[in-house]
Amino acid sequence: MPTPLEVLKQYWGYEQFRPMQEDIIQSVLGGTDTLALMPTGGGKSICFQVPALCQEGICIVISPLIALMKDQVESLKKRGISAAAVYSGMNYRDIDRIFDNCVYGDIKFLYLSPERLLTDIAIERIPKMKVNLLAVDEAHCISQWGYDFRPPYLQIAQIRERLPQTPVLALTATATADVVTDIQEKLAFRKGKVFQKSFARDNLAYVVLHEEGKTQKLVEILQKVPGTGVVYARNRRKTKELALMLQQQGIRADYYHAGLTPQERSDKQDAWIHNHTRVIVSTNAFGMGIDKPDVRVVVHMDLPDSLEAYFQEAGRAGRDEKKAYAVLLYHVTDKINLERQFELAFPSLQEIRQVYRALGSYYQLAIGSGQLESYDFDLLKFTETFKLDAAKTLSCLKVLEQAGWLSLSEAVYIPSTIRILVNKDELYDYQLKHPRLDRILKAVLRSYQGAFTGDISLREGQLANFLDIKVADLSKALELMHKDGILHYVPQKDQPQLVFLQERVDASNMSIDHKMYQFRKNRHEARIKSAIAYAETPECRNRQLLAYFGEKDAPACGKCDVCLGRKQSTLSTLEFESYSGQILHILEEGSKTAEELINRIGSSKKEIVLQTLEYMVDEGVVEFDAGLLRLPV
């Protein structure tokens, strides 16, 4: 079998591994249960993809993020590696075919959402596969100490019982010390190893600005920091408002959120990745799994409810290891809003039961039925139907999810599929009798191969454009042919998927573990307090973040707003970072006078350069002697 480095060169074209990757890979190849803690952009996927390709058999990857699974499957396929994904919302025929290919075919990577581990087909087929590695992505989801607990992750230990010789590799970008311990216990580690890369990002300057006028400050930041940026806002409406405002200021900006169509999301994402759009303004739905290394600034317009979430989102800046900024625009109202959201996040048992009862009625589920059934879920339509408050309903659903009653995924796009059910003679006869549908059938047969032998994916928007008809009219025509038994048509999906993890019970008998509920409530409150303390405590931002993740006694970074603010008053952190970097670069050539530096940087920036020099000399970063400025020897 090939060596890890040979696999890396063959499929990725890299000549060497990043720090820690090879150690993790060797641990896995040695059959050792392994936990890898690597910051966002640290190359976690390589750590399970390479060892899986070094061995015979299949690698099963557990991930809660459907969009990320689909992206990784497509990425592997482009490299000539066979991969497939199974997640909520897929039809049984496709799931059955994929599992069969994993047992008898040549699939190398099978991506599963965690609730799929509970299904009969998974329990039956997985032990028949030659599984060389079980990779658990976003492993912090298994811990109730973490910020994103998902009960289906607890089933992974049961799968391990059916794969006694298979090592597990758990990966996460953010985990406190308690979560690190919990991950190993919940995954039933056998004498495992933990590899932890420091959470320090030396190229990333963390900045917290206390601002009354956040939008004006956002414009100033984007005008001062060139390059690509991401701006995070709390809700969908705000993303659109901010993007339009930035456009009016001459900044190439666009907005992104989960409520857009798949095509809109794809187009906006591609435009940003290829630098046609400079700044994307988004909810936290954006960024996961997107590998864009040259992001120069990430701005948060609101304080997230946990430092784990903030650290992960901020960490999307500067993955190329060049200078980048993570800026939080903070106002006292952020604290008030988080405290108000905390109260909404933990509804009463009566309110939770009301939502659970409404779900049963909404999907017309009988008592004792529905276990592991998956349904499209439209929150707005659901709350309007039962006259429920949307925010409180979402909190109730979160409690039901964490209590193991249901699972609610992000929006998932599954394209339409069709399969022709009749032979060519019968189809020709149908076309003669239905001339209006004949044109559509001819277009399908010309554009898509294999419709007589199996299910084919259909891009309805593309086909409708070709036929010059409305998408709705095309769908109606396909539904009619489905009804007539000419073809099997499954319409596309683009909704969050709600899965009932347990059979439906009478709402009055639906229980929540009160002790665990209180534990999660206390943990959530502690995370909010930590986030507020980060924004309000005048201590090195980098040191605060590292301490939160267990790296105590870290030195001051020297580049956050606090470290620079002790000597700076009129000069902003971003200005100082920019001009001090230019000064140091010029002084690497040799000693210079202040006038020479000003001329090199630009005479219009004289005051800023002089202020920066004054600070640098005071701090001993630059020496001044006999009229010359130089770097310390």
What is the token pair recorded at 514? 């009160």
Length of the chain: 633
Instruction: Report the C-alpha gap between 466 and 493 in whole angstroms.
Output: 21
Instruction: Report the C-alpha gap between 289 and 273 in whole angstroms.
Output: 12
Name residue, tokens 């709390």.
234
Q: How distant is the alpha carbon of residue 322 from its chain centre?
A: 22
Q: Identity (one letter) of the amino acid at 239?
A: T
- Torsion angle of C-alpha atoms 103, 417, 268, 465, degrees rounded to 10: 150
Closest CA to 140 of 266, 36, 222: 36
Low-confidence ranges of the chain (pLDDT < 70): 40-42, 285, 287-290, 410-413, 494, 566-573, 618-619
Name residue, tokens 């087929």.
125
Instruction: Report the C-alpha gap between 65 and 257 in whole angstroms.
Output: 15
Quote the pLDDT of residue 300: 96
Quote the pLDDT of residue 388: 92
Q: What is the pTM of this model?
A: 0.74
Q: Nearest-5° angle of CA 570, CA 228, CA 292?
A: 135
> How many other C-beta atoms lie within 10 A of the C-beta of residue 193?
16
Instruction: Report the C-alpha gap between 45 and 241 in whole angstroms.
Output: 35
Decide: residue 564, CB within 10 A, 0-12 exposed, 13-18 middle, 19+ buried: buried
Quote the pLDDT of residue 4: 94
Domains and CATH numbers, the chain: 4-196 (3.40.50.300), 204-330+525-548 (3.40.50.300), 339-414+496-512 (1.10.10.10), 416-491 (1.10.10), 567-630 (1.10.10.10)
Non-local CB neighbours of 474 within 8 Å, separated by 6+ positions: 440, 460, 463, 464, 467
Instruction: Report the C-alpha gap between 377 and 474 in whole angstroms.
Output: 24
Quote the pLDDT of residue 411: 62
Quote the pLDDT of residue 457: 80
What is the token pair recorded at 192? 């495992």
Closest CA to 557 of 575, 545, 548: 545
Which 3 state secondary structure label does DSSP give 550? coil
Quote the pLDDT of residue 278: 96
Distances in Å between the Cα of 365 and the Cα atoms of 50, 87, 372, 382, 505 are: 44, 22, 12, 15, 10
Q: What is the pLDDT of residues 365-411, one digit of tens each?
A: 999 998 888 888 888 889 999 999 888 998 999 999 988 899 887 66
Name residue, tokens 């289906």.
152
What is the token pair recorded at 515? 């002790």
Return the exposure string of 518-529: e unless at least 16 CB atoms fall within 10 Å of the residue's CB, then b.
eebeebbeebbe
Instruction: Report the C-alpha gap between 300 and 336 in whole angstroms.
Output: 17
Q: Identity (one letter) of the amino acid at 210?
A: H
The Cα diameter of the chain in Å comes to 98
DSSP state of 8: I
Quote the pLDDT of residue 570: 53
Instruction: Report the C-alpha gap between 15 and 19 in whole angstroms.
Output: 13
What kind and span of H or E run contains 144? none
